[in-house]
């Protein structure tokens, strides 16, 4: 009996080594472990929740003196990454000052499949329920997961989510993701089932919605990205979905061996690794944004520029922030590895010429170089993704290539984001390192 088992194991190992080679030159595994044979939940879209700053609150008259979104319909569009046959939504009240009552929620496909439009495709609208009820309340600091909804989504589909708040939220502390790069719409009254919202007020922010999950086939998994404004897409095209994670997802979709990989953008402009800035620091939000998300198998850490840039331009301060960043990366790696997640380190981009980050003495540049040297050579990360090398000016490595930035020598334009996306090897995202996600209900 023992010899038969050994023979079977040897045969399985042999079969598992047989595969085909794609354009990245790496073999695909031809045989999947039976543990991943069942369909399961995977996050397909995320928006990092933040406390809304005064300048990013809903425009008048939707922000009052002591409440927001009273008697208001909020219609938002988002682009999912991987597809699936069922979906569920997550609403966040992480930073709300009071409970968040949702009176009604619907989903639909947007007109012509476009992002940032207020009209929906006829016949696609469906109500969303929570424990079988059409209304629900999200407690302070909590999130709310909807019931599963039968809605087949193809990869890269735009989705419309419409919510009505009869009472609004009786607080001026509101959860949102300001850097949506996508147009949303506000109108008084309940228009959750309306085909369009004529006369609605447009705003380029997302509010309250934090996640979409899908039931997807075996082998589907997600790569999450921890980042700042470079990942959140400052300098990208509004409603264009051309941030670098969007364009990287398009590359994954073009290859059969990675077509089942979701991409989760867990970034925010101004975010930092060590200290709160715009949104909680990375060490504080890691569990919420990465470790608790469905189906995450890989993590790209691409953050630290704001820590260096906001630390004082003194030798003492820069030595400290360099050491603290490296220690923080080690913490992120340990915590993610404990959940079976592979962690890839991305080098920090140059900011020479940027005001205020580029100091005359070059102390912040020295910190960036020291951090990048650690990322490249320490062996701490499972793999290094050298984004610095992809976009720096060969004639002046302290600066971005002139044709790739958006004018401030820090943020990129759509071509710059395309260059970042092209620099991430797709072969790193074959064959998830562990069974990803829980079986579908």
Render pLDDT for 369-410 as a digit per residue (tens, 0 to 9). Answer: 999 999 999 999 999 999 999 999 999 999 999 999 999 999
Q: What is the pLDDT of residue 27?
A: 39
How far is the C-alpha of 365 from the C-alpha of 369, rounded, in Å? 6
Least confident piece of the model among 20-24, 62-66, 68-72: 20-24
Average pLDDT (53-61) is 97
Average pLDDT (416-421) is 98
- Provide the b/e sequence for 47-58 (b: ≥16 CB within 10 Å): bbbbbbeeebbb
How far is the C-alpha of 102 from the C-alpha of 108, rounded, in Å? 17
Q: What is the pLDDT of residue 18?
A: 34
pTM for the whole thing? 0.90
* CA distance to 207, 384, 400, 421, 427, per residue, from 373 (Å): 39, 11, 18, 22, 24
Q: Beta strand pairing status for 261-267 and 221-227? A: parallel
Confidence of residue 439 (pLDDT cuts 50, 70, 90): low
Residue with tokens 């996640």, as numbered in its chain: 211
The DSSP call for residue 7 is H
Q: What are residue 108's DSSP bridge partners?
A: 160
For 102-121, the pLDDT digits (tens) are 999 999 999 999 999 999 99
**123 burial via Cβ count (<10 Å: 0-12, 13-18, 19+):** exposed
130, two tokens = 């929570």
Helices (DSSP H) in 360-434: which residue ranges?
Answer: 363-377, 387-391, 414-422
Find all residues with CB under 8 Å of 385, minimum gap 6, and list them.
300, 302, 344, 345, 346, 347, 423, 424, 425, 428
Instruction: Please report, rounded to a whole number, the percentage of residues in the chain having pLDDT higher than 90.
Output: 88
* CA distance to 85, 265, 278, 345, 361, per residue, from 318 (Å): 50, 28, 21, 21, 12
Average pLDDT (244-257) is 98
Residue with tokens 């790569």, as numbered in its chain: 223
* Residue 33 in this model has a pLDDT that exceeds 60: no
Helices (DSSP H) in 189-346: which residue ranges?
Answer: 229-232, 244-253, 282-286, 305-310, 315-337
* Residue 38 in this model has a pLDDT that exceeds 90: no
Q: Is 350 helix (H, G, I), strand (E, B) or coil?
A: coil
């Amino acid at each position: 009996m023992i010899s038969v088992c050994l023979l079977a194991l040897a045969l399985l190992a042999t079969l598992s080594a047989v595969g085909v080679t794609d354009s990245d030159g790496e073999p695909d595994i031809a045989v999947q472990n039976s543990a991943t044979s069942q369909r399961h939940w995977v996050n397909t879209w995320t928006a990092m929740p933040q406390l809304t700053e005064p300048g990013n609150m809903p425009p008048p008259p939707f922000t009052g003196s002591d409440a927001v979104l009273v008697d208001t319909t909020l219609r938002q569009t988002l682009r999912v990454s991987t597809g699936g046959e069922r979906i569920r939504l997550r609403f966040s009240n992480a930073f709300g000052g009071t409970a968040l009552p949702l009176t009604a929620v619907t989903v639909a496909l947007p007109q012509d499949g476009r992002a940032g439009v207020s009209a929906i495709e006829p016949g696609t609208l469906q109500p969303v329920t929570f424990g079988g009820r059409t209304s629900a309340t999200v407690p302070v600091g909590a999130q709310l997961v909807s019931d599963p909804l039968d809605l087949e989504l193809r990869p890269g589909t735009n989705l419309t989510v419409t919510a009505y708040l009869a009472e609004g939220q009786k607080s001026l502390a509101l959860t949102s993701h300001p850097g949506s790069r996508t147009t949303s719409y506000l109108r008084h009254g309940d228009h959750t089932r309306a085909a369009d919202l004529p006369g609605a007020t447009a705003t380029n922010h997302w509010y309250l919605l934090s996640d979409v999950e899908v039931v997807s086939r075996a082998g589907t998994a997600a790569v999450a990205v921890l980042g700042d404004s470079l990942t959140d897409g400052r300098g990208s095209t509004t409603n264009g979905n051309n941030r670098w994670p969007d364009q990287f997802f398009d590359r994954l979709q073009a290859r059969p061996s990675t077509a089942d990989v979701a991409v989760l953008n867990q970034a925010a402009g101004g975010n930092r690794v060590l200290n709160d800035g715009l949104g909680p620091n990375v060490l504080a939000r890691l569990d919420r944004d990465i470790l608790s998300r469905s189906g995450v198998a890989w993590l790209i850490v691409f953050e630290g520029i704001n820590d260096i840039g906001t630390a004082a331009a003194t030798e003492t301060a820069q030595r400290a922030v360099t050491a603290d960043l490296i220690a923080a990366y080690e913490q992120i790696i340990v915590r993610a590895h404990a959940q079976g997640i592979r962690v890839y380190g991305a080098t920090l981009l140059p900011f020479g010429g940027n005001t205020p980050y580029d100091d005359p003495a070059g102390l912040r540049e020295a910190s960036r170089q020291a951090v990048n040297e650690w990322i490249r050579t320490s062996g701490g990360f499972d793999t290094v993704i050298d984004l610095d090398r992809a976009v720096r000016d060969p004639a002046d490595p302290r600066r971005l290539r002139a044709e790739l930035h958006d004018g401030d020598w820090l943020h990129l334009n759509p071509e710059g984001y395309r260059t970042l996306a092209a620099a991430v090897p797709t072969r790193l995202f074959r064959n998830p390192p562990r069974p990803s996600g829980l079986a579908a209900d």
